[in-house]
Structure 1
């Protein structure tokens, strides 16, 4: 699914607002490791492409070169109106240091 700087779905998939699947409504804007703490973080933007009010549940992961996946986390949004976006930051809880790739592994969209 999505990696840093790319939609959470295929790069060729529909843009938010074009009848996209839930995973296509998510974009990783930034992926970084704090130099002082070694903890990873990612900035994520979610845009509701549905025609109704929905909330999103995201499963995210920080992937290091020595581990396939580390620290799967859940992240939920408040309900978003059609076309509304929200940007949030997800922080890892353990220091990983070095190179980290941020991924969104699953997206669920629930009517509210």
Structure 2
């Protein structure tokens, strides 16, 4: 015998299983997943629930804020208006001493005896004579105004006398401050006379 074996026969192609003519088509499995549209409906339901929940939460927040604002307004409410009748404040009239009939007017006690302008610096000054016409020792304060040719005040000054006995006289200089034009005049603006003690002088 020979070691050579004859070759195996070639494989025959298997016939395809075809459905016989007129047979109904294969039915899908009842456990298969449903087609696409139901999946889309489920997604829309989830979105709707999320939006609705957000609106409910927003409404609750607005309600809480409104309640908080109402409580704050109630806590800062203004006190009730008083029903007490209005009364105007009482003002006391200032006390004024009645002038003594025997005391002469203080303006009569002071006289301007000179009114000059310093040629070097242009400052005006006035000399006044004070005669105590009262019945008691008195001190005087004299205020002076310096007026230009149009009557406008251009400077002012003052002088004082302390503890002048009744009937006595004194001369004082009221010095103005600041340069004034030529032709400036002098005028007494105010005089105060107050009772005093000789020891004040």
> How far 1:91 sits from its partner (Å)?
1.4
> What's the CA shift for 1:47?
0.4
- Segments of 4+ moved more than 4 angstroms: none
Rg larger in 1 or in 2?
2
Distance 1:36 1:59 in 2: 24
Question: Shift of residue 29 of structure 1?
Answer: 0.2
Matched pairs, number: 95
TM-score, scaled to structure 1: 0.77
Paired residues for 1:15-54 under 5 Å: 20-54=104-138
Gap regions ≥5 residues in structure 1 = 1-17
Q: Give me the CA root mean square deviation.
A: 1.7
SS of 1:24's equivalent in the other structure is: helix
What TM-score, normalized to structure 2?
0.44
Tell me which of the two structures has the higher relative contact order, counting C-alpha pairs closer than 8 angstroms and 6 or more residues apart: 1
| Alpha-carbon shift at residue 67 of structure 1 (Å) | 5.4
Q: Retained in 2: the 8 A contact 1:56–1:110? A: yes
| Larger helix proportion of the pair | 2
